[in-house]
Amino acid sequence: MSVSLQKGQKVSLSKENAGLNRIVVGLGWDEVQQKARFFAPKPQAIDCDASAILLKNGKLTDNKDVVFFGNLRHKSGTVQHMGDNLTGAGEGDDEQIVIDLASVPAEYDKIVIVVNIYQAVQRKQHFGLIQNAFIRLVDARNNTEMCKYDLTENYSGMTAMIFGEVYRYNGEWKFNAIGQGTNDPGLGELTRRFI
C-alpha cells in the first residue's frame, strides 16, 4: 500500500515493512512545453539531478559523502546513483538512487535527497518550468511503492529543492517529506547547507 505524502509528513519505513533492507528513491519530472519565440534560440532541455547527501550527526563532513551523477557510488557501497537523465524524457522514474539501509554504516544518521537543475542560472531555468514532479520510495525486494510525494506546490523561481530525508530514529528508518525549494545555483551550494 502506497502512502501519498504531504510536506512535513513523516512515515516509518521499517515498522510496517518487516525485513526492509533496500529502498529505491525514484525521481520523475516532465518539462512544461515552452513556446518557441521568433529569433530566440530553442530552449534547452531541463536537466534535473537527484543526489543523496549522507550526514554524520546531522552534518556533511566529507565531499565523498555526496552521491550524484559525478560520484555514482558511495565509498561504503550502500548508496548508488543509477545514472543521469538529461531531459526527464520517458515514463516513470527519470533518476533512481538505491539505498542499502541494512548496511549503511552506523555513523551515518541521515540521508538527505536533493534535486537541482543543472546550470539553472546559465540556462535561465527554474522549477516553474517543470510539471508532474515526484519523489517516491520503493521496497527493492518486491518493487512495491511505499510512499510518494507529489510536488504540487508552485516552486516557480526556485532552482533546487530539498525533497526529503531518510533517517534513523530509535533503531528504525523513517522518511520525512520536506519539499523545501531554494535558489541555490548548483549542488555545491546546496550541500553547504549541511556543513
DSSP secondary structure string for all residues of the chain: --EEE-TT-EEESSSSSTT--EEEEEEEEEEPPPPP-TTSPPPPPP-EEEEEEEEBTTB---GGGEEBTTB-B-TTSSEEE----SS--SSS-SEEEEEEGGGS-TT--EEEEEEEETTHHHHT--GGGEEEEEEEEEETTTTEEEEEEE--S--TT--EEEEEEEEEETTEEEEEEEEEEE--SSHHHHHGGG-
Q: Give percent of the chain with pLDDT exceeding 70.
A: 84
* pLDDT exceeds cutoff 80 at 164: yes
- Are 55 and 111 in contact by the 8 Å Cβ rule? The answer is yes
- The residue that leads in pLDDT, 4 or 194, is 194
- Residue 156 pLDDT class (50, 70, 90 cuts): confident
- Are 82 and 55 in contact by the 8 Å Cβ rule? The answer is no
What was the pLDDT predicted at 7? 74
- Residue 152 pLDDT class (50, 70, 90 cuts): low
- For residues 145-171, average pLDDT: 82
- Are 72 and 64 in contact by the 8 Å Cβ rule? The answer is no
Domain 20-32+45-194 fold is Lipoxygenase-1 (2.60.60)
Return the bridge partners of 130, or none.
Answer: 31
What was the pLDDT predicted at 37? 59
pTM of the model: 0.86
- Residue 13 pLDDT class (50, 70, 90 cuts): confident
- Residue 194 pLDDT class (50, 70, 90 cuts): very high
* pLDDT exceeds cutoff 60 at 88: no
- For residues 160-181, average pLDDT: 87
Domain ranges of the chain: 20-32+45-194
The pLDDT tens digits of the residues spanning 40-78 come to 566 677 888 899 999 999 999 999 999 999 999 999 999
- What value does the mean pLDDT of the chain take? 84
